[in-house]
Amino acid sequence: MEKDGINSFGAYLELITNRNPVVHQITNFVTANDCANAVLAMGGRTVMADYIEEIEEITGAADSLVLNLGVPSEERLQSLLLAGKAANKKRIPVVFDPVGCGASSFRRNAAKELLHEVEVSVIRGNSSEIQCLFDKYNRMRGIDAETEFDSICTVRKFAEKTHAVVVVTGERDIVTDGDKMYMIENGCKEMSLLTGTGCICSALTGLFLGADTKAVYSAVCAAACVGIAGELSWKRYGECGLGHFHMGLFDMLGNMRKYLVADTGTTERRKLDKKVELAIKGGCTMVQLREKNGNMKEFYHDAAALRRITDTYGIPLIINDRLDLMLAIDAPGIHVGQNDIPASIVRRLIGAEKIMGVSAHNVEEALQAERDGADYIGVGAVFSTNTKKNTKNVTIKMLQEIVKAVSIPVVAIGGINCSNVKYLHETGISGIAVVSAILGAVQAYSAAKKMKKLVISTLNVNNKYSSN
């Protein structure tokens, strides 16, 4: 996927993180919650409004519009039409999902009226729905696909006729704008046991379109996301039952937004050194290396390599948790948590010259860390993060209380990115620690530079603990 500098799936994920697009969804009540959660998991925002008195205003403030035929009525059709026309007026991209359009003549006529009155960027449906719109198949006993295409040319012709990108989801997803055509074979057969996976795909298509208006590439990314999430969720949760499989979809969608703390599980090892160096050039002033479950021999070599890079640029390398490794490579510092070796013991072993950071989640822990000789306090997770599971968030209020209670620098940790760093304004912290916002970005240098600028302007800090 390459056009105008957007050439990878990762690049689209970075756009979503940076732009945090708002998706206005008029969707059906069966899947509304799932569609909203899918957009949120991937880093977007969503609003769902179909009241005719407010629909134009809300649509006009969104970055994209998803029109889901859902459970239709005359009133609902009017809302869909009004929202679609409002989006067209402001050149906001529109996704149309003709749910069950072959189930009744009312649905068929409603879908065709909408396509006639509203210019849509993407049409997403199963094989029966798309063929119904193209007058190839007119009978459905529900909303699920009952037929397969007699020819892929049918999809291409429909795209040409409607001047829209057409997405047919099923065992094999087809995406075409009439010129380019993509086949996506991610997913698993068990996804057919869940209601609403197609609607989720439509919602995510709206999300990607809200970040970047190149419809065919956005549609490919959305279809791939849902398929991959389905595969991974079934692999992890399938044995537990359909309920776990269902909820696992959102876990996996959220995990796709991968994570400067240098976590060797976040990026491929062969790319770690390069990404960290680019991050340093972009403005990172301290690097922490973390490894929870990997091979310790590999961890040692990673640490030694990063020590050479950080020494070159004159910034400290902090080893997370592993006192033995910190001593083995003579790293400038160590960061320990509440469940690690007591900070007072660590300080005695490393001496007074080395840097020691200590994690704290409340004022009592922070004060004890200061008494034990900590040089800074790491407080988090301040936002939800995928790099640490089962971690309870620390409130902004608690963060402020910790800052007031101690005399040493406080660094906020956990789930921080360019979109939410603003909420740390006036907390009094000395810096932030990030993973995904930089290492998960396609361009680590640009991501670090942007984050550094935000940290300085938003938090009014510029010291060795900032953009950690």
Q: Which of 150-154, 263-267, 315-319, 438-442 has the highest mean pLDDT?
A: 315-319
* Residue 138 pLDDT exceeds 70: no
Q: Residue for token digits 């960061």? A: 335
pLDDT at 445: 85
Which residue segments constitute the domains of the chain, with CATH numbers given? 9-255 (3.40.1190.20), 261-459 (3.20.20.70)
- Does 184 have pLDDT greater than 90? no
Which pLDDT tens digit goes with each residue over 75-121? 999 999 999 999 999 999 999 999 988 888 899 999 999 999 999 99
Model confidence band, residue 143 (pLDDT cutoffs 50, 70, 90): very low
Residue 141: predicted pLDDT: 45
Can you tell me which residue has the tokens 């991968």? 258
Residue with tokens 């990030």: 434
How many whole angstroms separate alpha carbon 16 and alpha carbon 10?
Answer: 10
Write phi, then psi, for 423 (nearest 5 degrees).
Answer: -75, -10
* Amino acid at position 252, single letter: M
Q: Is pLDDT at 33 greater than 80 in this prediction?
A: yes
- pLDDT (tens digit per residue) in 232-246: 889 888 888 999 999
| Mean pLDDT for all residues in the chain | 84
Query: What are the tens digits of pLDDT across the range 362-386?
Result: 999 999 999 999 999 999 889 876 5
- The mean per-residue pLDDT over the stretch 30-48 comes to 92
- Indicate if the pLDDT at residue 6 is higher than 70: no
Residue type, 133: L
> Could you tell me the end-to-end alpha-carbon distance of the chain, in angstroms, rounded to an integer?
33
In this structure, the number of other CB atoms found within 10 A of the CB of residue 298 comes to: 12
Count of other CB atoms within 10 angstroms of residue 289? 29
Residue that the structure tokens 């859902």 belong to: 70
Predicted confidence (pLDDT) per residue in 244-302, tens digit:
999 989 988 887 654 356 565 554 554 678 889 988 988 898 999 987 666 678 788 88
Dihedral pair phi/psi, residue 254, rounded to 5°: -65, -35
| pLDDT value, residue 63 | 94
pLDDT at residue 375 in the model: 94
Annotated catalytic residues are 290, 359, 388
Question: Per-residue confidence at 468, pLDDT binned at 50, 70, 90?
Answer: very low
Q: What is the mean pLDDT of residues 304-314?
A: 89
284 neighbors 465 (Cβ within 8 angstroms): no
Can you give the pTM of this predicted structure? 0.55
Neighbours of 348 (CB within 10 A): 12
CA–CA distance from 180 to each of 107, 153, 160 (Å)?
Answer: 30, 12, 11
